[in-house]
């Protein structure tokens, strides 16, 4: 320690603590570069020599294993700065100033605080007082140099990486389904099961057009997807597990599956808090893109097409709400509709009636955004029906192609899945065989090893049985799905698109997919009537107008004709009779039900039609009591006489309660001893309302 150093250290410094800051960039350095760490701790002796007692030398080493590039996540450095700024530090010790900060900003801030609080700085070269101009200049220079050093190191490393990447020779961790060959070339994984799984993923996406649907299909079929373990003791091994949506997306987005080498797809940035953010770089800004660099699972055109589809799908949820992939609901035009008023995509809302789902097409986005009433809402059932009819009528030439493609896809999908499951069984069998051989090879006296190997063998056998069972079960299900008879049915359907279209067993999703093969979009405008504008693929247009769909209470309303008919019929018939007559004519209530006397009664009440009783009374008919008086008999006899048709009664309800026509000038009289049946035949009752009644409804 020079004389100069001792001059700088004053009693005021010695009264305060000495802080020794120890740091290594990475954990690896902490373990391997122990020399440097020891040198850092040895600085304690320097402090002691300058006069600090051992117990006042405080070591801050919480930052071991932290990089010096930023102060953000270096807890120890922050503590050091705090102690200095509070004036508790007399001197700060560090092996090289670079140990304190690799970032000029952090470093200069520390220098400034040191100067303000009269704190000394010590490294292996000497003691500095940052209040002195020359010392500060030197320290500043040292800080800048150390930052520059870091930069040069990094630039040299990155330059090497970039150069290699530009030639397409940079070793990048191969995505699942690829491995590096002995010559260092990227080739498809020789494991057939892995290869087929990746292929199936791409094929399924090609068919369904949605990553989610692909994942669902894998789950339904009980198919597993390979994943390589990157860390831990099992590093490099392939693990089989269910396919996740994020994984499927990553694979679909990865251009390496199209045989391209890329570099610079993402950009890593540090935030103020010290977190790393990985950002995706748009394709035009990728640093390196070499097409056909190696064998791929799809070609570049398909890759681009997939990106477009994925983008379209995600835009269904994004700000723009573009076309969305077909989903399961029955709304035929889901995702194809554009609002004719504001030009936004319309969404589907379902309501259920009598267990069936009915779509409503709604333009509500702006309304939700700004808290206004929604733009327009239109019941969709009739529109769907109309569009379906137009397609059926327009579809004749393309018919065969579409239907056959559907059939072929069904077929190939099942075969493909079955083959994959077979491979799973094969793999399990192979592993069981391996375990058996291992077990047989071990010395039986070595119980410890033999026991664990036996357990392993048993495990493998169980897995094999499970795989076999799953395979058989699924195959049986598939067979149930499409047996020969059904296949024949589908084949016959294949020649008949309209039939395929109307077949209730055709899933809505497939129907929608067919619509998408034909239609680009549909614009809806609700004014005095409904304007429907269809845009076909290939540019053809068709505009049509429909009457405004009735709202739901209108749809359930009894038709005016039926009400008029009931009004007419009430003159001559009771409720049950009217109900039977209406049913005979094939008429139905507003809710589509068969008429009953109760429904007829309700209609009479709610439309305020004159009740039958009043009508009959108005026509001059008499009650039982009045009739009994006229005939001079007991009221009970009136009913008996009516039964025997001596008088004429008209039922006014379902219980056969009657009102009676006036018997006229010459009413039947009691005749002792003559049988009623005989009298009925003899007596000529002249009915007052003798017109023959007819139902005209």
Q: Does residue number 363 form part of the binding site for Zn ion (CB under 5 A)?
A: yes
Which residue intervals of 328-446 are DSSP H helices? 365-370, 381-394, 399-441
Q: Spot the catalytic one: 12, 25, 552, 606.
A: 25
To the query of whether residue 70 is one of the catalytic residues in this protein, the response is: no
Query: Cβ closer to Zn ion: 109 or 341?
Result: 341
Binding of Zn ion at residue 339 (CB under 5 A)? yes
SS3 content of the chain, % helix, strand, coil (to 5): 50, 15, 35
Positive or negative, the Cα torsion across 184, 188, 192, 193?
positive
Site string for Zn ion, 289-328 (x = CB under 5 A): ----------------------------------------
With respect to Zn ion, which residue has the nearer C-beta, 210 or 523? 523
d(CA 119, CA 311): 59
Buried b (16+ CB within 10 A) or exposed e, 90-125: bbbbbbebbbbbbbeebbbebbebbbebbbbbbbee
Nearer to Zn ion, 201 or 339 (CB): 339
Q: Which stretch binds Zn ion (CB under 5 A): 207-215, 359-367, 394-402, 527-535?
A: 359-367
For residues 233 and 252, what is the distance between their CA atoms, to the nearest angstrom?
A: 29
Q: From CA 426, how far away is CA 335, in angstroms rounded?
A: 43
Please choose, out of 2-10, 242-250, 342-350, 438-446, the segment that lies near Zn ion by the rule CB under 5 A.
Answer: 342-350
Q: How many CB atoms lie within 10 A of CB 229?
A: 12
Closer residue to Zn ion, CB minimum distance, 375 or 493? 375
- Cβ pair 562, 546 in contact under 8 A: no
Cβ 324 to Zn ion, closest distance in Å?
17
Q: According to CB under 5 A, which one of 92, 375, 532, 658 is a site residue for Zn ion? A: 375
**Least distance in angstroms from the C-beta of 535 to Zn ion:** 17
User: With binding defined as CB under 5 A, does residue 524 bind Zn ion?
Assistant: no
Residue 342 engages Zn ion in binding (rule: CB under 5 A): yes
The smaller minimum CB distance to Zn ion, of residues 228 and 365, is found at: 365
Nearest to 336 by CA among 532, 143, 171, 179: 532
Phi, psi at 174, each rounded to 5° = -70, 140
By CB under 5 A, name the one of 196, 341, 535, 617 that touches Zn ion.
341
Q: Tell me the closest approach of the beta carbon of residue 607 to Zn ion, in angstroms.
A: 38
Options 205-213, 339-347, 427-435, 576-584: segment touching Zn ion (CB under 5 A): 339-347
Per-position b or e across 522-532, b if 16+ CB within 10 A of its CB = bbbbbeeebeb
Cβ distance to Zn ion smaller for residue 87 or 318 = 318
In whole angstroms, the minimum distance from the beta carbon of 345 to Zn ion comes to 9
362 binds Zn ion (CB under 5 A): no
Residue with Cβ nearer Zn ion (47 or 331): 331
- Smallest CA-to-CA distance from 100 within 49, 136, 54, 63 is with 63
Closest CA to 80 of 55, 114, 115: 114
Question: Which H or E run includes 226?
Answer: strand 225-228
Residue 374 binding Zn ion, by CB under 5 A: no
Q: How far is the CB of 378 from Zn ion (least distance, A)?
A: 11
Q: Between residues 523 and 604, which has the closer beta carbon with respect to Zn ion?
A: 523
Q: Distance (Å, rounded) from C-alpha 558 to C-alpha 587? A: 10
> CA-CA distances (angstroms) from residue 36 to 40, 123, 561?
6, 13, 102
CB of 344 to Zn ion, least distance (A): 5
Q: Pattern of binders to Zn ion over 565-604, x per CB under 5 A?
A: ----------------------------------------
Whichever of 227 and 344 has its CB closer to Zn ion, that residue is: 344
Interface with Zn ion: number of residues (CB under 5 A): 5
Give Cα 479 to chain centroid, integer Å. 29
The Cα–Cα gap between 693 and 642 comes to: 20
Closest CB 342 distance from Zn ion, rounded Å: 3
Q: Interaction with Zn ion in 387-446: which residues (CB under 5 A)?
A: none
Question: Smallest distance from the beta carbon of 380 to Zn ion, in angstroms?
Answer: 15
Query: Which range in 46-54, 337-345, 443-451, 626-634 contacts Zn ion by CB under 5 A?
Result: 337-345
Minimum gap (Å) between residue 488 Cβ and Zn ion: 47
Residue placing its CB nearer to Zn ion in the complex, 80 or 363: 363
- Mention every residue, 6+ apart, whose C-beta is less than 8 A from residue 629: none
SS3 17: strand
Q: Specify the stretch interacting with Zn ion by CB under 5 A; choose among 3-11, 331-339, 347-355, 666-674.
A: 331-339
Scan for tokens 């699942």, then name that residue: 176
To the nearest whole angstrom, how small is the minimum distance from the Cβ of residue 297 to Zn ion? 42
Stretch that binds Zn ion, among 28-36, 97-105, 336-344, 584-592 (CB under 5 A): 336-344
The tokens for 333 are 């035009």
Please report the sign of the dihedral spanned by the C-alpha atoms of residue 73, residue 74, residue 79, residue 80.
negative
The residue range among 193-201, 367-375, 418-426, 572-580 that interacts with Zn ion, by the rule CB under 5 A, is: 367-375
What's the full length of the chain, in residues? Answer: 697
Instruction: Enumerate binding residues for Zn ion (CB under 5 A).
Output: 339, 341-342, 363, 375
Active site residues: 25
């Amino acid at each position: 320690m020079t004389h100069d150093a001792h001059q700088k250290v004053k009693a005021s410094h010695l009264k305060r603590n000495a802080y020794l800051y120890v740091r290594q960039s990475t954990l690896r350095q902490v373990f391997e570069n122990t020399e440097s760490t020891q040198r850092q701790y040895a600085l304690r002796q320097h402090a002691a020599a300058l006069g600090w007692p051992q117990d006042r030398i405080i070591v801050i080493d919480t930052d071991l294993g932290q990089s010096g590039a930023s102060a953000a996540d270096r807890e120890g450095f922050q503590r050091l700065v705090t102690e200095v700024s509070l004036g508790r530090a007399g001197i700060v010790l560090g092996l090289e100033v670079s140990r304190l900060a690799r970032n000029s900003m952090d470093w200069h801030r520390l220098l400034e605080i040191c100067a303000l609080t009269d704190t000394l700085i010590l490294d292996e070269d000497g003691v500095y007082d940052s209040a002195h101009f020359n010392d500060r200049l030197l320290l500043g220079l040292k800080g800048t140099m150390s930052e520059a050093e870091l930069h040069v190191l990094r630039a040299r490393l990155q330059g090497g990486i970039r150069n290699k990447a530009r030639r397409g020779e940079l070793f990048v961790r191969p995505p699942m389904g690829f491995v590096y060959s002995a010559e260092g070339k990227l080739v498809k994984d020789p494991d057939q099961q892995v290869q087929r799984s990746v292929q199936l993923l791409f094929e399924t996406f090609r068919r369904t057009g949605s990553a989610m649907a692909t994942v669902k299909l894998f789950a339904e079929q009980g198919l597993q997807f390979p994943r390589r373990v990157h860390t831990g003791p099992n590093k490099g091994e392939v693990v089989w597990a269910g396919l996740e949506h994020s994984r499927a997306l990553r694979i679909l987005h990865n251009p390496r599956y199209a045989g391209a080498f890329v570099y610079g797809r993402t950009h890593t940035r540090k935030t103020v808090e010290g977190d790393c953010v990985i950002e995706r770089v748009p394709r035009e800004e990728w640093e390196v893109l070499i097409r056909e660099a190696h064998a791929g699972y799809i070609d570049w055109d398909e890759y681009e097409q997939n990106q477009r589809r994925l983008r379209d799908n995600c835009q269904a949820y994004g700000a723009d709400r573009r076309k969305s992939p077909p989903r399961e609901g029955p709304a035929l035009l889901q995702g194809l509709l554009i609002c004719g008023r504001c030009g936004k995509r319309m969404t589907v809302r379902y309501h259920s009636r009598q267990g069936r789902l009915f779509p409503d097409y709604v333009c509500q986005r702006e309304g939700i955004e700004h808290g206004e009433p929604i733009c327009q809402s239109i019941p969709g059932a009739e529109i769907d029906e109309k569009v379906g009819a137009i397609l059926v009528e327009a579809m004749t030439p393309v018919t065969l192609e579409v239907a056959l493609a559907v059939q072929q896809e069904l077929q190939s999908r099942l075969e493909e899945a079955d083959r994959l499951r077979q491979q799973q069984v094969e793999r399990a069998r192979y592993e069981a065989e391996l375990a058996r051989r291992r077990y047989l090879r071990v010395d039986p006296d070595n119980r410890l090893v033999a026991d664990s190997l036996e357990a392993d063998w048993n495990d493998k056998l169980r897995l094999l049985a499970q795989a076999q069972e799953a395979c058989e079960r699924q195959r049986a299900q598939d067979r149930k799905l499409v047996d020969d008879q059904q296949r024949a049915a589908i084949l016959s359907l294949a020649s008949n698109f309209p039939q395929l279209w109307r077949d209730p067993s055709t899933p809505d999703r497939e129907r929608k997919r067919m619509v998408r093969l034909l239609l680009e979009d549909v614009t809806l405008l609700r004014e005095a009537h409904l304007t429907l504008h269809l845009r076909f693929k290939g540019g053809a247009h068709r505009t049509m107008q429909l009457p405004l769909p009735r709202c739901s209470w209108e749809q359930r309303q009894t038709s005016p004709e039926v009400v008029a008919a009931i009004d007419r019929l009430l003159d001559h018939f009771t409720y049950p009779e009217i109900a039977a007559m209406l049913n005979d004519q094939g008429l139905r209530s507003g809710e589509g039900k068969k008429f009953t006397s109760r429904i007829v009664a309700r209609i009479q009440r709610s439309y305020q039609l004159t009740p039958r009783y009043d009508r009959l009374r108005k026509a001059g008919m008499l009650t039982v009591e009045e009739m009994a008086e006229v005939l001079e008999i007991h009221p009970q006899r009136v009913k008996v006489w009516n039964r025997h048709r001596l008088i004429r009664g008209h039922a006014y309800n379902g219980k056969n309660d009657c009102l009676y026509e006036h018997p006229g000038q010459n009413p039947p009289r009691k005749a002792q001893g003559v049988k009623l049946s005989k009298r009925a035949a003899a007596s000529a009752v002249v009915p007052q309302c003798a017109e023959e009644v007819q139902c005209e409804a």
